[in-house]
Amino acid sequence: MKNNESQSEKTAREAREKRRNRDEKLQVPFHFADRLNVAIKAKGSAICVGLDPRLEQVPSFIKEKQAKLHENPMTIAAESILEFNKGIIDAVADLVPVVKPQVAFYEQYGYEGMRAYEETLWYARDKGLLTIADIKRGDIGSTAEAYAKAFLGKVDLFGKEVFSFDADAVTVSPYLGYDGIKPFMTEARKHGKGVFILVKTSNVSSADLQDLQIKEGNTIYEVMAQFVESWGADDLGKDGYSLVGAVVGATFPDQARELRKMMPNNIFLVPGYGAQGGTATDVAACFNKDGLGAVINSSRGITFAWESSDIFTEKDYAEAARAAVMGMKRDLDGVLK
Amino acid sequence: MKNNESQSEKTAREAREKRRNRDEKLQVPFHFADRLNVAIKAKGSAICVGLDPRLEQVPSFIKEKQAKLHENPMTIAAESILEFNKGIIDAVADLVPVVKPQVAFYEQYGYEGMRAYEETLWYARDKGLLTIADIKRGDIGSTAEAYAKAFLGKVDLFGKEVFSFDADAVTVSPYLGYDGIKPFMTEARKHGKGVFILVKTSNVSSADLQDLQIKEGNTIYEVMAQFVESWGADDLGKDGYSLVGAVVGATFPDQARELRKMMPNNIFLVPGYGAQGGTATDVAACFNKDGLGAVINSSRGITFAWESSDIFTEKDYAEAARAAVMGMKRDLDGVLK
């Protein structure tokens, strides 16, 4: 391994740590749901931009530029993704409250990819965006604690507590039950962060397990909704929303309507709008009467909007993403009035 | 980002790629279950060593050495973990068929940690060990595909297919149903690799979801066992075992006995022995009559054996691990005869 840090890298790392520690002290309101709601109101939209960069779809001018700067193909891939993300973030930062990078698309490129993941989270934070690390982790207690510290909390480095990936929220998978969730809630509470638990996912075979009916008559996703509601009940912010949220797919609007009633105080993270088939009418059921309670994610439909456009070329990918966000905003506003 | 690759790094990377491509062509038998069974027979043990390095428990002489070599605390942490792992791997490579690094303990240290993860997998492979990446990933189809390529298959890098983390098997979480599992099976089939699906985990609150009884009378973990059996039925190796296995905790021996009958052709990855409370008698139920069908994992009980020893000091942590493996082998042999 080559790892000797240069003086400029050291200076940058220390400045970042210092700034982050100051920000943490100033962060008001501190509760995740309040922070998210403030951001939603400020931006006038509940849109979450999914940053799921597929290398083959990243504009070639970016890849060509990075290929001139680096030799290792993994590095070229990771740097291309990062540059692409920065363009998207710059283009949408004033329009949306939150972005959600899906970690699988970064892990593909090994540790170089994970460096791009970390830098993407930092860059988004610098531009005033909240971040949801879409990691869907879930494990036994001691392991979940390690994940929770990695993505939400601080890691003990020889007696000094340091943020690692430092997202504002994570997605978590509930197969292992409460002791796999609790460590995430602990870190979330400590650092004004949030946890979105998978309840009803947007994919077709979500039915395999989630739609099974238990003896008492409920489906598994309904049981999970009860868990989410009760696990999050003690951690409400000023607006009455919990730091524990739920992932509820836009592709199942009837279930979403029912789940909205079952979890009135939990924010929904809603994937499945756009490319996966969910419409504005479908996602309308995910909001409460106060106009809050949901963030609607779109990934490919925004980040690769230029591909299905007659107006934009790959050079204008960021502008195309901005236009797509504005279109999505109009679309959602139309059904939410 | 600093990323310009030095000439020696480039040479090392290319040599590794070349060797790996040659190995892949020579890899006989190619089916994962056969490869695992050959290794189990050769080593005379079905022990899996869990590499879950907890920095605070890594011997201080390692950390002090790395602190002299590097400046960034994350790098020191990652390098310490890697050196620790190498010591363990060297000490146990002739005794066990497989190691299982749990990715959470590496992700804690950001991309530097993930570099240590990658290097650990490579080092273990070089020492003739199979590797299980304990990642418990699970997502919708297109995302699961990215994970599957990252950890089992090859990633497309500008037209060239390259292995990324390149483990021999992964653990996968089933909450999203079959379309979240299928991409892992596809990559496993292509590259002689395996997939272990969570069925009944070793933690106390595994009951929250996994023990729920569905209308038809089965529990969720039994439903999952039926899925695992049927999903893996078409991919059997010479010994009759599937490339799709199941995670079944040692802490629930009655359920393990029942699950063994339900999934006769699926290899069990069994966590929970030792530190978590599972005994040799408990895990005996996980094996078939042919003496195969299970690998028993122990993590802390082996890697940090020196801590609970009167004979070994931290300097001898690797020797202590070796002794712990031999003790575990005697323990298992005692009940498997």
B307 to chain A nearest CA, in Å?
A: 18
A1: pLDDT confidence band, cut at 50, 70 and 90? Answer: very low
Return phi, psi of residue A335, to 5°. Answer: -95, -15
Inter-chain CB proximity A105 and B146 less than 8 Å: yes
Mean model confidence pLDDT for chain A: 95
A-B Cβ pairs (cutoff 8 Å, strict): 268
According to DSSP, residue A267 is labeled P
> How much is the average pLDDT of B261-289?
94
Structure tokens at A157: 């480095």
Question: Taking 90 as the threshold, does the pLDDT of residue B5 lie above it?
Answer: no
Chain A partners within 8 Å of B107 (Cβ) = 114, 146-147, 150-151, 164-165
In a domain, B274, yes or no: yes
Mean per-residue pLDDT, B164-190: 97
Average pLDDT on A152-177 reads: 96
Confidence of residue B21 (pLDDT cuts 50, 70, 90): confident
State yes or no: pLDDT of B178 exceeds 60. Answer: yes
Residue numbers in B near A227 (CB within 8 A) = 208
Q: pLDDT value at position B275?
A: 81
CB contact under 8 A, A76 and B158: yes
Give the residue on A whose Cα is nearest the Cα of B113.
A111
Q: Which of B100, B136, B154, B193 is catalytic?
A: B136
User: Which pLDDT score, from 0 to 100, does residue B1 have?
Assistant: 45
Tell me the pLDDT tens digit for each residue of A199-220.
999 999 999 999 999 999 999 9
Query: Do B84 and B119 meet the contact criterion of CB atoms below 8 Å apart?
Result: no
- Is B22 part of any domain? no
- pLDDT-derived band at B9 (thresholds 50, 70, 90) equals confident
Can you give the pLDDT at residue B29?
67
User: Are B143 and A102 a contacting pair at CB < 8 A?
Assistant: yes
**What integer is the mean pLDDT of A15-29?**
80
For residue B271, what are the β-bridge partners? none
**Distance set, CA B212 to CA A220, B197, B200, B223, B229 (Å):** 9, 18, 12, 10, 20
Q: What percent of chain B has pLDDT over 90?
A: 89
pLDDT tens digits, one per residue of B91-123: 999 999 999 999 999 999 999 999 999 999 999
A171 lies in some domain: yes
Chain A environment of B7 (Cβ under 8 Å): none
Contact between residue B149 and residue A108 where contact means Cβ atoms under 8 Å apart: yes
Q: Bridge-partner residues for B273, per DSSP? A: B278
Burial environment of residue B215 by CB neighbours within 10 A (0 to 12, 13 to 18, 19 or more): exposed
Q: Do B146 and A71 touch (CB under 8 A)?
A: no
B136 is catalytic: yes
Pairwise CA distance, residues B119 & A13, whole Å: 24
Residues of B in contact with A115 (CB under 8 A): 1, 110-111
Nearest to B223 by CA among B267, B262, B180, B265: B262
Whole-angstrom distance between the N-terminal and C-terminal Cα of chain A? Answer: 56
Asked if residue B2 has pLDDT above 60, the reply is: no
**pTM for the model:** 0.97
- Residue B76 maps to which CATH number? 3.20.20.70
pLDDT confidence tier of residue B17, bands split at 50, 70 and 90: confident
Residue A76, Cβ density class (10 Å: 0-12 exposed, 13-18 middle, ≥19 buried): buried
Average pLDDT score over residue span A150-171: 95
- Residues spanned by the domain of A81: 31-336
Weakest-pLDDT range from A183-187, B7-11, B155-159: B7-11
Chain mean pLDDT for chain B: 95
Q: Calculate how close chain A gets to B71, using CA atoms only, in Å.
A: 6
Q: Judge whether A251 lies within some domain.
A: yes
Nearest CA in chain A to B220: A209
Using CB atoms within 10 Å of the CB of residue A26, give its burial: 0 to 12 exposed, 13 to 18 middle, 19+ buried: exposed
Residues of A in contact with B2 (CB under 8 A): 6, 9
Please say if the pLDDT value at position B299 is more than 70: yes
Interatomic CA distance for residues B266 and B275, integer angstroms: 25
Residue among B62, B81, B140, B154 with most chain A CBs within 10 A, to mutate: B140
pLDDT at A29: 67
Interchain contact, B209 vs A220, CB within 8 Å: yes
Nearest CA in chain A to B63: A158
Tell me the C-alpha to C-alpha distance, in Å, between residue B89 and each of A25, A132, B78, B104: 43, 36, 16, 19
Q: What letter does residue A275 receive in the DSSP assignment?
A: G
Confidence of residue B289 (pLDDT cuts 50, 70, 90): very high
Which residue in B82, B175, B214 is closest to A214 by CB distance? B214
Q: Which two tokens stand for residue A247?
A: 């992932």
**B113, part of any domain:** yes
Q: Are A299 and A102 in contact, with CB atoms under 8 Å apart?
A: yes
CB count, 10 Å around CB of A60? 11
Contact B75 A214 (CB under 8 A): no
B139:A140 CB<8 A: no
Q: Do A175 and B157 touch (CB under 8 A)?
A: no
**3-state per-residue secondary structure call for chain B:** CCCCCCHHHHHHHHHHHHHHHHHHHHCCCCCHHHHHHHHHHHHCCCEEEEECCCHHHCCHHHHHHHHHHCCCHHHHHHHHHHHHHHHHHHHHCCCCCEEEEECHHHHCCHHHHHHHHHHHHHHHHHCCCEEEEEEEECCCHHHHHHHHHHHCCEEEECCEEEECCCCCEEEECCCCCHHHCHHHHHHHHHHCCEEEEEEECCCHHHHHHHCCEECCCCEHHHHHHHHHHHHHCCCECCCCCECEEEEECCCCHHHHHHHHHHCCCCCEEECCECCCCECHHHHHCCCCCCCCCEEEEECHHHHCHHHHCCCCCHHHHHHHHHHHHHHHHHHHHHHHC
- Got the DSSP string for A127-187? TT-EEEEEEEE---HHHHHHHHHHHTSEEEETTEEEESS--SEEEE--TT-GGGTHHHHHH
Chain A residue whose CA is closest to B164: A110
From residue A104, give the alpha-carbon distance in Å to each of A212, B23, B137, B333. 28, 26, 9, 40
Under the banding of pLDDT at 50, 70 and 90, the label for residue A25 is confident
Output the pLDDT for position B4.
Answer: 66
Phi and psi at residue B311, in whole multiples of 5°? -90, -40
Which helix or strand (DSSP H or E) is residue A25 part of?
helix A7-26
Across the range A124-152, mean pLDDT stands at 97
Contact criterion met (CB below 8 Å) for A330 and A280: no
Which residues in chain B have Cβ-Cβ distances shorter than 8 Å to A4?
69-71
- Contacts of residue B3, defined as CB under 8 A and 6 or more positions apart, other chains included, come to A69, A70, A72, A75, A79, A112
Binned at pLDDT 50, 70 and 90, residue A184 comes out as very high
Cross-chain residue pair A160–B73, CB shorter than 8 Å: yes
Pick among B64, B109, B114, B211 to test the A interface (most A CBs inside 10 A): B114
User: For residue B3, how many other CB atoms are within 10 A of its CB?
Assistant: 16
Rounded to the nearest angstrom, the minimum Cα separation between A337 and chain B is 31
Beta-carbon separation of A72 and B10 below 8 A: yes
Which of A63, A111, A175 shows the shortest C-beta gap to B111?
Answer: A111
**Side chain identity, residue B199:** V
Instruction: Assign A298 to helix, strand or coil.
Output: strand
- Nearest CA-CA distance, residue A204 and chain B, Å: 8
Q: What is the spatial distance between Cα B255 and Cα B271, in angstroms, rounded to a whole number? A: 14
**Domain-embedded: residue A9:** no
Note the pLDDT tens digit of each residue in B198-228: 999 999 999 999 999 999 999 999 999 999 9
HSE of B266, CA atoms in CB hemisphere, 13 A: 30
Q: Do A3 and B112 touch (CB under 8 A)?
A: yes
For residue B127, the model assigns a pLDDT of 96
Q: Quick one: what percent of chain A has pLDDT higher than 70?
A: 98
User: Strand B47-51 relative to strand B294-298: parallel, antiparallel, unpaired?
Assistant: parallel
Contacts of A62 in chain B (CB under 8 A): none
- Kindly state whether residue A19 falls inside one of the protein's structural domains: no
CB contact under 8 A, A147 and B107: yes
Q: Which amino acid is at B190?
A: K
The count of other CB atoms within 10 Å of the CB of residue B119 is: 19
Q: Which of B266, B265, B192 is nearest to B31 (CA)?
A: B192
CB A205 within 8 A of CB A211: no
Distance from CA of A284 to the nearest CA of B (A): 22
Q: Which of B72, B210, B220 sits opposite A13 (nearest CB)?
A: B72
Instruction: Report yes or no on A11 lying in a domain.
Output: no
Instruction: Output the six-digit token pair for B108.
Output: 């804690």
Task: Tell me the chain B residues in contact with residue A111 when contact means C-beta distances shorter than 8 Å.
Answer: 111-112, 114-115, 117-118
- Measured between beta carbons, which residues in chain A are less than 8 angstroms from residue B224? 209
Cβ-defined contact of A201 to B175 (cutoff 8 Å) = yes
Measure B294 CA to nearest chain A CA, in Å: 20
Q: How many domains in chain B?
A: 1
